Amino acid sequence: QSALTQPRSVSGSPGQSVTISCTGTSSDVGRYDYVSWYQQHPGRAPKFIIYDVTKRPSGVPDRFSGTKSGNTASLTISGLQAEDEADYYCSSYGGGYTFVVFGGGTKLTVL
């Protein structure tokens, strides 16, 4: 099962919005609404911020939102803050006995 494709880096200024894409195939992202997103600060464990494409776990600010269109899922962070600077990873269920695959990760820089 191939990894999901994410841009290596994105950037934005405080207060702006940025969107990170996550492209899979018709067998994973396109077929199932089981896309999750994770935020990872340097030296820290990943933190679960979006699940089921659009849902936020308790405690995650509503500045973080997820969508999906076809084989591509997207994470949008609005009202960028310095603390949002981190690496972001997507994951998707691929069906059957295959399991979750991760995207390659996107480094978000807050200018």
Partner 1 sequence: QVQLQESGPGLVKPSQTLSLTCTVSGGSISSGFHYWSWIRQPAGKGLEYIGRVYSSGSTDYNPSLKSRVTISLDTSKNQFSLNLNSVTAADTAVYFCARVQADNRAYDYWGQGTLVTVSS
Which residues bind to partner 1, rule: CB under 8 A?
3, 34, 36, 38, 44-48, 51-52, 57, 89, 91, 93, 97, 99-105
CB of 15 to partner 1, least distance (A): 29
Q: For residues 26 and 59, which CB has a smaller minimum distance to partner 1 in the complex?
A: 59
CB of 28 to partner 1, least distance (A): 10
Q: For residues 19 and 93, which CB has a smaller minimum distance to partner 1 in the complex?
A: 93
39, burial (CB in 10 Å: exposed 0-12, middle 13-18, buried 19+) = buried
Q: For residues 64 and 89, which CB has a smaller minimum distance to partner 1 in the complex?
A: 89
Q: What is the DSSP string of the chain?
A: -PPBB--SEEEE-TT--EEEEEE--TTTTTT-S-EEEEEE-TTS--EEEEBTTTB--TT--TTEEEEEETTEEEEEE-S--GGG-EEEEEEE--STT---EEB--EEEEE-
CB of 61 to partner 1, least distance (A): 17
Q: For residues 13 and 59, which CB has a smaller minimum distance to partner 1 in the complex?
A: 59
CB of 33 to partner 1, least distance (A): 8
Question: Which tokens hold the place of 73?
Answer: 């899922």
